[in-house]
Amino acid sequence: MDKEKNSVLIVDDQKTTIMVLKNILGNEYRVFATDNSQTALKTAEKFKPDVILLDILMNDIDGYAVLAELRNSEITKDIPVIFITSLNDVEDEEKGLSLGAADYITKPFSPEIVRLRIQNQIRMLNQLQTSNELSMLDQLTQLPNRRSFETRINTEWAVAQREKKPISILLIDLDKFKSYNDTYGHLQGDATLKTTANLFKKTLKRPGDFAARWGGEEFIVLLSNTDSNGALEIAEQIRKSAEDMEIPFTDTQNLKITISIGVNTYNHEQTALSINDFFAGADKALYDAKDAGRNKVCFYSGAG
């Protein structure tokens, strides 16, 4: 159950204060602590807490300097920091907030105030996380959307280049989908897109395989550490599964649809390639599959 809890890091040079705060927060959160401001950044980067409680008056580096370090780190720059301090002048609070602190609690503190201030930050954090997740999801198919795919391919592309491993992409289009929509209606078209999305969830088994809705009736699959033979094998499995798929229409009738797939692989033995060129190759292969009569898998050879 601890893995499901939000987490709090306490940075305070008074061990008694750390003990009190642990008692206040320990039942509700995972609590980490350090009494040394010099190790605060390393501790925050290691545990990546959801909220940091930070004292200003420390024995070595003051809390303002610690906050500046936290804000300069890519790992910790967005973690909300609550100053908890014996400094109670308005100017001190204004300084802390102007430097980017999320909140300010003065000592001696009320346990309930600490709980409520932490809860407020956690609530805002969870709402933001939910909003970000929704913005990366296609609402119809519940697959990642184009924005999510673009984020993922940038990450995987960098890994593939660094480790010199092959990477493959499948660009997938439902055949004659406009006619299908015109014949059976848009509600049935939406149902078909959802059924197709479920097909990817069943076919792609490896943790690194990533499928997304590219837009309209197009889907896209990213296969990390996968050479051309592996990509063609997976593409054919997807094509055959789509061909065999039955899509409910009425109580007595199911419908069929086929897909065309363009495949491209980059193995780093080739000339340097951009992500846009990588995608363009898959797009060209998809057009070749369409020209070949649809319900086909075609591989981009680099020619033409």
Q: What are 61's two structure tokens?
A: 């580096």
Q: What are the phi and psi torsion angles at 268 (to 5°)? A: 70, 0
The 10s digit of each residue's pLDDT in 278-293 is 999 999 999 999 999 9
Question: Tens of pLDDT along 229-238?
Answer: 999 999 999 9
pLDDT range class, residue 3, cuts 50, 70, 90: low
Q: Say if residue 304's pLDDT is above 70.
A: no
Report pLDDT for 233.
Answer: 95
Q: Is the pTM of this model over 0.75?
A: no
pLDDT digits (tens, 9 = 90+) for 169-225: 999 999 999 999 999 999 999 999 999 999 998 889 887 899 999 999 999 999 999
Residue at 10: amino acid letter: I
How confident is the model over 104-122, as pLDDT tens digits?
A: 898 889 999 999 999 999 9
- Count up the domains in the chain and report the number: 2
Residue 247: both structure tokens together? 């899509």
* Total residues found in the chain within this entry: 304
The CATH number for 107's domain is: 3.40.50.2300
CATH of residue 291: 3.30.70.270
**Which pLDDT does position 2 carry in this prediction?**
42
Catalytic residue (choose from 217, 218, 233, 246): 217
Residues 6-24: tens digit of each pLDDT? 999 999 989 999 999 999 9
Q: Which of 80, 99, 133 is the last residue of a domain?
A: 133
H helix or E strand, kind and range, residue 284: helix 275-291
Among 84, 104, 133, residue at a domain's last position: 133
Q: How far apart are the first and last CA of the chain?
A: 56
**249 lies in which domain range?**
146-299
Give the whole-angstrom CA distance, residue 48 versus residue 80: 11
pLDDT at 303: 53
Whether 139 maps to a domain, the answer reads: no
Q: Is 269 known to be catalytic? A: no
- Read off the tokens for 148: 């999510």
Give yes or no: residues 127 and 160 share one domain: no
247-248 and 254-255 beta bridge pairing = antiparallel
Q: Indicate whether 140 belongs to any domain.
A: no
